[in-house]
Chain A
């Protein structure tokens, strides 16, 4: 029996070595797009690891502690729980960014792996090779972030507990494993048939990404809830415990509604304009929206969610500051004003970071969509369609479905902010924070700007030489 086991394990090791070599050869021979994917994946993995490590380290603290950073916000369990929640929420755009990175060159990679199947690779072998291609990038990012975090941890904390170290180890190992697993799962369609490379990809419904998004969000929410409940035990009243959860639920609901609206608008507008378009750019954009109406929803999901959070926060901030000033005037402020404003400023910074991440993901996604369609676009150019027309069509594809979705995200976020302010303020009369409406406007402009960043790539993709390769 032992010899059979040893032969089997030797065979497995040999097979793994072969797959590893194959993955390395494929990576080495990859074009610039593939290297971009790996660099951005490593960056995303580093961000995810860093944020998760900060959250688990703070989560391992029990009771009151003197933490040398954070302006006393991290000292008490109640405020610490808020910071952990913010960190976990920040993970959502980072995961969205990682998802976008995984999509770079996806169609090309699908074809390549289908070609491997045609040459005799088994479905399992193809999944393993795909995982081995993505895993090292995630590992690199994760290791870099872990090293930096551990050094920082040892400087800030004399003797980290066993619980803290366990959390650090789990995150450091978990991020690359999850990244590799996600890339293997993403290949389920190709693995089904070696002919994947000749099949036209059907437009996807919004159900798959929607469910994935919802699943990931529910998981993060559950972890956040468990952490907050655990960390803040005995420090907050019953009413205060429920309100943040209701706010979170409303944010998810409005965000999901905005994502759905983006897809539904793309489908409706695409159908309508395809029949009535009078210009070439409108017709191209309409046909593209009709062909894959959920593309815009998938690409902008994280942006819309951050818009809801951002608009809501600006409203809450305005009302809370007014309330704090009222409390100070009446002499009811328990701590220094800086204690409260630091929390608000840190939240604002976290939202800005999240916005920056999702806008980067958006730029990556737009560039990826363009790279995927380069043959079709090159064919249009070869047929005489001017470059400016294609550029306008590209911007319209972003602008049309996003307009109502961002409007819904903005008004929904503001409504949540007004409601939250109304039930929590005591020293001032809540007013409608119209300034918060600047957030969706700014986000919409930034989205168009992100789409415009891909225009230089459009110029390169339109070369008729792109038609040479399948």
Chain B
């Protein structure tokens, strides 16, 4: 917590899905290099908060600031660019493209940014190696185990050297051993590269990996707790 200026800050976020209010004035800050866990019961608004912070969903009211820029006011093109270069996203499942091999999936953000195929595959291969799934590089997601697929997703989120990784229940579909492998890999690489992590989870064991924990209840932050 040496840097007091937040890298990413949300103030008084309000977001409704139809008549259901998912967020009701939630505020949260993420500092550079910090691992922040957002916990709460199912339906408390955790995922909606992550979507707003990652610029995937625009809030109905309130603000999201990233590096001095108002994310909630940025055009779609700039948001896409941020997701490609400075943000990495890991969900519970589904973000890998079934038609592409693990190597192509990891190289995807680089290829979309115009990096040459050789460079993109080279860097993707390095990340698969670091996360222990180099042997699965030519497999498609359907042929991998849940843990392998999730580590591949993690490699894709980290391949561009992002400043923030958004992880929404990254271990939600995994057994305890695979969960531990994924969380260890995420925390280790984030610490090594100084990447901030916003971790959404309902699992206390997963939240224990974070520097700080924020609890959401009915769309508002109900408690702050330093865990490390």
A interface residues, Cβ below 8 angstroms from B: 11, 14-15, 18, 21-22, 25-31, 34, 111-112, 115-125, 193-195, 197-198, 468-470
Contacts and interface: CB of A to CB of B under 8 A. Distances in A.
B81 interface: yes
A21 B104 CA distance: 11
A15 B99 contact: no
A119 B98 contact: no
B125 interface: no
A469 B156 contact: no
A112 B99 contact: yes
Interface in B99-130: 99-101, 104, 108-109, 111-114, 117
Interface in B44-100: 51, 56-57, 76-77, 80-81, 83-85, 89, 91, 93-100
Interface of B: 51, 56-57, 76-77, 80-81, 83-85, 89, 91, 93-101, 104, 108-109, 111-114, 117, 140, 142, 156
A15 B114 contact: yes
Contact of A123 (B80, B81, B99, B100): B80
Contact of B142 (A116, A118, A197, A469): A469
A195 B92 CA distance: 13
Contact of A18 (B89, B98, B100, B112): B112
Contact of A125 (B57, B112, B117): B112
Nearest to B80: A122
A125 B84 CA distance: 13
Instruction: State the 3 A-B residue pairs at the shortest beta-carbon distance, nearest first.
Output: A120-B84, A29-B99, A120-B83
A118 B99 contact: no
A225 to B, nearest CB: 42
B80 A25 contact: no
Contact of B94 (A22, A197, A468): A197
A29 B89 contact: no
B100 A194 contact: no
A25 B100 contact: yes
19 contacts: A25-B99, A26-B100, A34-B99, A111-B94, A112-B98, A115-B95, A117-B80, A118-B89, A118-B95, A119-B84, A119-B95, A119-B109, A120-B84, A120-B85, A120-B112, A121-B112, A123-B80, A194-B56, A468-B142
A467 B91 CA distance: 18
Contacts of B89: 118
Nearest to A17: B114
